[in-house]
Structure 1
Amino acid sequence: MPNFTPETPLFEIMRHPRAHQVIAAELPELAGNPILHTLYHYPLGLILSTEDRLRGDVRRQAALLARVAEAGDAPSSVAPAGNVPAPAPNDDDEATARGSAVVRHADLVPAWTAFEATFEGPSRGNPFTDVELTATFTSDGAVLEAPGFYDGDGQYRIRLLVPAEGEWSFTTSSNARSLDGITGTFTAGPAASRGPVRVADTFHFAYDDGTPYVPMGTTSYVWTHQGNDLEEATLEALKTGPFNKMRMCVFPKSYLFNENEPELYPYEGSLEEGFDHFRPNPEYWRHLEARIDQLDELGIEADLILFHAYDRWGFSTMSTAADDLYVKYAVARLASRRNVWWSLANEYDLMFEKTTEDWERFASIVTANDPSGHLLSIHNCREFYDHSRPWVTHCSIQRRDVYKTAEMTTEWRAAYGKPIVIDECAYEGNIDQGWGNITGEEMTRRFWEGAVRGGYVGHGETYVDPDDVLWWAKGGTLKGTSPERIGFLRRILEESPHGHLEPLDGHWDAPSAGIRDEYELIYFGFNQPTYRRFVKSPEKNFEVDVIDTWNMTVATLPGTFSGRFRIELPGRQYIAVRLRALPTTAEPLTPAR
C-alpha cells in the first residue's frame, strides 16, 4: 500500500483513485484546477498549505492529510465497468421484412476513397446501443468487414476505405431485421490517392503505393473546437506551412490557455444536466469529419488522440462500457478516412483511472474495427508505454529528460525496432512552462538531430497571446521562427535517395546518415567548426554541400573530393555537410585534396 505523507508529490496522490476521490471531495477547486498538472511535482503538504481555502488552517490541513493517508491504505479502484443500457423496443419487430431497409450508395468510387452506404432503419429506443450493424465486403478473393454506426434521424451508415480497383459486393448483418442481409455492389475505379500511410523499411513511413512519406508534424490539440473563423484561419496557416501531420484531440480539452467552452459537445446533454455517454452527438462528429477531410485536401495526416486527461466534462472518466462504445463509434465513423492515424491517448499515464488492460482492450477494439489498418500508437507523459506491443505501429514519444530529446532517437530505435516519432520534444514559445519556451533555433536543432538519427520530431508553438490563442492548443496563425526552417529540412529529406535517412557510423562527435560511400549528411548542431577533415574511398568522387540549416542555404563547394580531404566551414552553429557521390564514370574536376 502507498505510504502517503506530506512529502509525497501531488502526482502520486492524484494517480491513486481513492486518494484522488478524497481530494476531489474536499477540494474540488484543486482537483478541477486547469493548471493542476503544473502542480504535480510539488509535495502534498505544500500544496495544501497554499490552497486558498486551507491557508493558515493547520488543523484542517492535518485532517485532510490523514484522510489521504487512510485512502492510501485502502485497496485501489478503477473506473466503474458500467453497463450498456438495455435495448428498448423499437419499430423493427418480427413483422418487419428481413433486409427491407431503403439503402443508398454510389455505384462507382475511386480506389483509396471512402465508399458509404446509407440505410433507413429503426430510430426508437437508443439506436446507438440497441442496433448492431456490420457489412462484409468482398472483391477478387479479398474479404473485409466494416462496422456500421447510427448517424441520427433514422440513418445508419457503413463506410469502407476501398483498398483496390475492381468489382466489390457487400452483405450486411444486423440484429435489426430491416438492416440484416442487405446486399449491394459497386465498382472501384483507378485510385484517387496514394492510400494510407504505412510503416516502411522498419523505421520509416510510406504511402500504400510505396511513395515515401516524411512526417513533419505539428500539434494543435483542439483546433476543431474553436468556431469557424479560428478553424478556417488554422487551415490557412497549414496551407502555406511545412507540416504534413496534425496531432489533435477528438474530445475537447480543459487546460492552460484553453478554458473556453466548445461550440459542440460529443454527446447529447448539457453542462447543466450532464451528458449521456451512450448517445453520441452526430453533429459533433460530422464537424470533425469535415475538418479531417480538409486536412486531407492539404496533404496532412490527422493523428487523432482518442483519450486525454485534461477534462472537466467527465469524458476522461466514463465507465468501461461507455469507453468501449466511444472507441468503436469513433473507428466506425472515421476509419474510412485515408489520412487518419489513431493515438489511444495523449499522456496515457496521467489518466489514472485507466489500466494497462484498458489500453490493450482499446487497441483490440481499434484493430478489430478498422479494416484499413491505420497506424496506431499511444503517447506518454512520464513513463513510456510498452512500445514493443504488436499493435503499436510506431513509437509516439514525449521526451523524458529536460535536455536530451532527439538525441535519444538512436537508443529508442535500438530498443523498439519501430519508427520513432518524438511528437513532443517541447514547444517553441515563451510561456512559463519548460515544455513551452524553447527557441526557434532549438526547435529546428531538435528536428535536424532527430532526422539525422533516423527518427522524426514534432512541432508546436506556445507564444503568449492576449486572446490566449496559442497554436498548440487552438491553432490560428504560426508566429514562430522554426516552421520555415522545418520546411527547409523537409525538402532536404525528400531529396535524399530513399526519401528518408538511415544513421551511419564514422563520426564520433556528430550524427550522420545516408548511404555509405554514396550519400551522407552530417549535422554539427551546437558545434561551430571552421573546417572538417574527411577520409573517403579514393575510388569515389564526391560533391560537397555546406548547408546552413538556420539561414536555409545550400552552398556547393567548387570541384570534387576523394580520398583524404579537408573542407572549409563557416564556424557557425547549425551547419550540416552533405556529400554526394558522382557516378563512377565521371572524371574528377579537381585533384583530390
Structure 2
Amino acid sequence: MSITTEPEAFTAATPLMHVLADPRGRAAVGRVLPDLVSSSILHTLHGYPIGLVVDTEPAFAGDPAAGAALLAEIAEIDRSAEPERPAPERFVEPSKAYEDVDVPPGSATVRQSATVTRFGRFEVELHGPSQGNPFIDVRLEARVDGPDGSVTVPGFYDGSGVYRLRYLPERVGEYSYRTSSNARSLDGIAGGFTVAPARPHAHGPVRVADTFHFAHADGTRHRPLGTTAYVWTHQGDLLEEQTLASLADGPFTKMRMCVFPKSYLFNENEPERYPFVGDPVHGFDLQRPDPAYWAHLERRIDQLAELGVQADLILFHGYDRWGFATMDTVADDRYVRYAVARLASFANVWWSLANEYDLLFSKTETDWERLAGIVRENDPSSHLLSIHNCRAFYDHSRPWITHASIQRQDIYKTAEMTSEWRERWGKPVVIDECAYEGDIDQGWGNITGEEMVRRFWEGAMRGGYVGHGETYRHPDDVLWWSKGGVLRGTSPSRIRFLDEILAAGPARGLEPIPLDWDVPRAGVEGEYLLYYFGFDQPGYRRFLLDPAVTWEIDIIDTWEMTIQRLPGTYSGRFRIELPAKQYIAVRMRAARTVG
C-alpha cells in the first residue's frame, strides 16, 4: 500500500520558483507584479522566499497591504486540485487531398548534386506547391538506401515553394532515394548519388567511444573542450564575426548555443531574427518557422565546422519573454521535428534538449521523454543527445542520453565529482557549467582564471571533460558567456596547454587510476601516469611504483605553461623535488620495462 500526501500550501516561506511553477501562482504574481515576472533578473530571485521578495518589492513600498493581499491570494491556492491549463493546439494530420488528384505524382522540379563527399551534406531541393501553410499541411520524407542499409530522412519546407531533404552519408559508395509525401507532386520522386572519399579534416559526427570518451565517425578521437556563448548567433553580423575570429584563435572544440533568443541578465537586447515569423509586438506564428532565421543559423553552424568546433545546440531554455518556453505540446513537437530535419545533416551538431530543464516549469518528465523520442526518430545520423540541469539532475541513465551534461550543484565541488558520476551513469561526463571566469555579482560568474583552469584539470584527471565560459563586465553588456565577442580571460591559453598535454597522452583518453587520498592520478598503468596537485603546493613528493617499470618524469606548471624534464630515470621507490607552488602536475612516461 502506498501513502500519498497532499502538496503543502504556499506560504511566505515558499521559494518564488515553486510559486511560479504553478500556473495559478504565476498568474497571481504576474497580474500584480507584471514587471517582476518579465524581469531579466527574475531567475536571480528564484530561490528566495516569496514573502521576502514581496517585502522588498519596490512596487509595494507605499502599499504594504497590496503585498499582503498577494501573499494571501497565493496561500489560498488549492494545491490538491490540478490547475487549469489553456487548451493546446489540436494536431491535424496532413491531408492526402492537399493537392488535386489531377496533379501528376512526382511532378515537382528536382535539383540535387550527383556526388557528395563522405561526411558532407547531400541535399535534394524540390520546387513544389505553396498553397495553404506547407509547414503544417505537407509531410515529406525519403527512404535512403546505401552501403549500410536503409534510413528514413525527414524533409522540411523552406518557404517560397521550396522543400529540402538532407542526409549525412558516412560510407563511400552508391546511394539511392525515394520520397514519400501527402503532396502528390512531391511523392514518389526517385534518384541517386555517389559518395566520394571525405575531404581532409572531415571526420564525421562525434559519438561516444570506450564508454567514457568521444570519437568521430571515422575513429578520430575528439576531446570536447567546450565553451558557452548562448545567443551569439542573435547579435548581428559584426559581433558574430568577431566571435568566430575569437574561436579561430582559441582552444575550444565545442560551443554551447541556443536556438531561441534569451532574456536574462546582460541579455535585454532584441535579436535581429526570430525562429518563427512575427515580432514581439504582434506576436509569433508558431506554425510558420522563419526560413531566413534558420538559414542564418545554418551558416553559423557551418562556419563553426570550418573551425573544427562542435555546435552543442540547446533546443529549449526558460530565459524567455517571447513565449517560446511555454509553447504547447503540438507546437513543441513540430518545432523539434523542424529543427532536426534541417540540422541533422550537419556533422558538427550535438543536441541538448534543454539548458536547465528544471526551470521550464510548464514541461514535465513525460514531455522531455517524448521530445527526446522525436529527436531520435528524426535524426538518421544519431547525433549526441543530452539534457542539462539547474538544480536537480535528470536521470542520465535513460537510454536516449548519450552523455551527462552537468551544471554544478555544489558551490565548490564539481569537477571533483566526475569519477562518482561516471560510475553512477556509466557514460561520458561533460561538465558544461562548472561556473564562469568573470567578475559579475553572481556566484556562478566570478571565479578566477586560475580556478577555471584547476577545474579543467580536476575533471580531466577523473576521466571527464569540463567546459569554459566568461562573464567579465562590459559597458555594452557584451559578455562572452552569452553574446560572444572577444575572449578576455586568462584561462583559454592554459586550457589550450592542457589540451596539448592530453593530445600527447594515451590515445583513448585519460582514465582515473586510484592512488592516495590527497592527489588524483590518471593514465595507463605501466605506461603513462599523470598526477595533479591543484591548489596544494608540495615541495617534494615520494613515490612507490612497480620497480619493473622505469620512468621519465616531467614537472608541469599548468599555469605558467612550462614543462621541465628531470634528468635521468626513476623506478620503484623514489623522491623528486617540486617547486612548492600551486597548479603543478607530474607526468611519468615509461622509458623501458625491466625483465
What is the TM-score of this pair, normalised by structure 1? 0.97
1:514-529 aligned at under 5 Å gives the runs 514-529=523-538
Q: Is the 8 A contact 1:79 1:353 kept in 2?
A: no
Kindly, what percent of the aligned residue pairs are identical?
62
Hey, what's the Cα distance between the residues in 1 that align with 2:513 and 2:405? Answer: 23
- CA offsets per residue over residues 94-134 of structure 1, 9 Å max, x none? 11001111111000000111100000111011100000000
Q: Is the 8 A contact 1:222 1:248 kept in 2?
A: yes
Post-superposition offset of 1:80: 4.7
Post-superposition offset of 1:174: 0.2
Report whether the alignment pairs 1:288 with 2:302. no
- CA offsets per residue over residues 266-309 of structure 1, 9 Å max, x none? 11112221000010000000000000000000000000000000
Counterpart of 1:2 in structure 2 is 8
Post-superposition offset of 1:49: 1.9
Counterpart of 1:590 in structure 2 is none
Contiguous gaps of at least 5 residues in structure 1: 587-593
SS at match of 2:592: coil
Hey, what's the Cα distance between the residues in 2 that align with 1:431 and 1:237? Answer: 22
Label 1:479 to 1:541 Cα distance change in 2 as closer, same or farther (>3 A).
Answer: same
Counterpart of 2:205 in structure 1 is 196
Counterpart of 2:118 in structure 1 is 111
Partner residue of 2:363 out of 354, 359, 380: 354
Partner residue of 1:211 out of 201, 216, 220: 220
Q: Which amino acid aligns with 1:548?
A: D
Counterpart of 2:63 in structure 1 is 57
Partner residue of 2:396 out of 366, 387, 399: 387
Q: Which amino acid aligns with 1:159?
A: R
Report whether the alignment pairs 1:486 with 2:495. yes
- CA offsets per residue over residues 135-169 of structure 1, 9 Å max, x none? 00001351011100000000000000111111000
1:213-252 aligned at under 5 Å gives the runs 213-252=222-261
Counterpart of 2:47 in structure 1 is 41
Hey, what's the Cα distance between the residues in 1 that align with 2:393 and 2:337? Answer: 25
Partner residue of 1:177 out of 184, 198, 203: 184
Hey, what's the Cα distance between the residues in 2 that align with 1:172 and 1:473? Answer: 40
Post-superposition offset of 1:89: 11
Which of 475-484 and 57-66 deviates more? 57-66
Counterpart of 2:315 in structure 1 is 306
SS at match of 1:577: strand
Counterpart of 1:23 in structure 2 is 29
Hey, what's the Cα distance between the residues in 2 that align with 1:89 and 1:560? Answer: 77
Hey, what's the Cα distance between the residues in 2 that align with 1:222 and 1:75? Answer: 35
Post-superposition offset of 1:75: 1.8
Post-superposition offset of 1:58: 2.5
Q: Is the 8 A contact 1:243 1:300 kept in 2?
A: yes
Q: Is the 8 A contact 1:429 1:439 kept in 2?
A: yes
Partner residue of 1:495 out of 501, 504, 507: 504
Counterpart of 2:154 in structure 1 is 147
Which of 85-94 and 498-507 deviates more? 85-94
Report whether the alignment pairs 1:168 with 2:191. no
Partner residue of 2:456 out of 441, 447, 451: 447
SS at match of 1:269: strand
Counterpart of 2:3 in structure 1 is none
Which of 40-49 and 247-256 deviates more? 40-49
Hey, what's the Cα distance between the residues in 2 that align with 1:361 and 1:424? Answer: 25
1:318-329 aligned at under 5 Å gives the runs 318-329=327-338
Counterpart of 1:589 in structure 2 is none
Counterpart of 1:471 in structure 2 is 480
Q: Is the 8 A contact 1:161 1:337 kept in 2?
A: yes
Q: Which amino acid aligns with 2:77?
A: A
Counterpart of 2:271 in structure 1 is 262
Q: Is the 8 A contact 1:215 1:456 kept in 2?
A: yes
Superposed CA RMSD in Å reads: 1.5
Partner residue of 1:556 out of 551, 565, 573: 565
Partner residue of 1:125 out of 97, 121, 132: 132
Hey, what's the Cα distance between the residues in 2 that align with 1:284 and 1:235? Answer: 18
1:301-450 aligned at under 5 Å gives the runs 301-450=310-459
- CA offsets per residue over residues 30-78 of structure 1, 9 Å max, x none? 1111000101121111111222222242321121112212225342456
Q: Which amino acid aligns with 1:415?
A: R
SS at match of 1:365: helix
Post-superposition offset of 1:92: 2.4
Q: Which amino acid aligns with 1:50?
A: T
Q: Which amino acid aligns with 1:36?
A: L
SS at match of 1:545: strand
Post-superposition offset of 1:90: 8.7
Label 1:77 to 1:526 Cα distance change in 2 as closer, same or farther (>3 A).
Answer: farther
Q: Is the 8 A contact 1:151 1:157 kept in 2?
A: yes
What is the TM-score of this pair, normalised by structure 2? 0.96
Counterpart of 1:513 in structure 2 is 522
Which of 533-542 and 486-495 deviates more? 533-542
Q: Which amino acid aligns with 1:451?
A: A
Report whether the alignment pairs 1:277 with 2:286. yes
Q: Is the 8 A contact 1:87 1:126 kept in 2?
A: no
Post-superposition offset of 1:498: 1.7
Hey, what's the Cα distance between the residues in 1 that align with 2:148 and 2:271? Answer: 46
Q: Is the 8 A contact 1:517 1:536 kept in 2?
A: no
Contiguous gaps of at least 5 residues in structure 2: 1-6
Hey, what's the Cα distance between the residues in 1 that align with 2:9 and 2:351? Answer: 37
Which of 45-54 and 224-233 deviates more? 45-54
Q: Is the 8 A contact 1:241 1:484 kept in 2?
A: yes
Hey, what's the Cα distance between the residues in 2 that align with 1:202 and 1:80? Answer: 44
Q: Is the 8 A contact 2:97 2:182 kept in 1?
A: no
Post-superposition offset of 1:2: 3.1
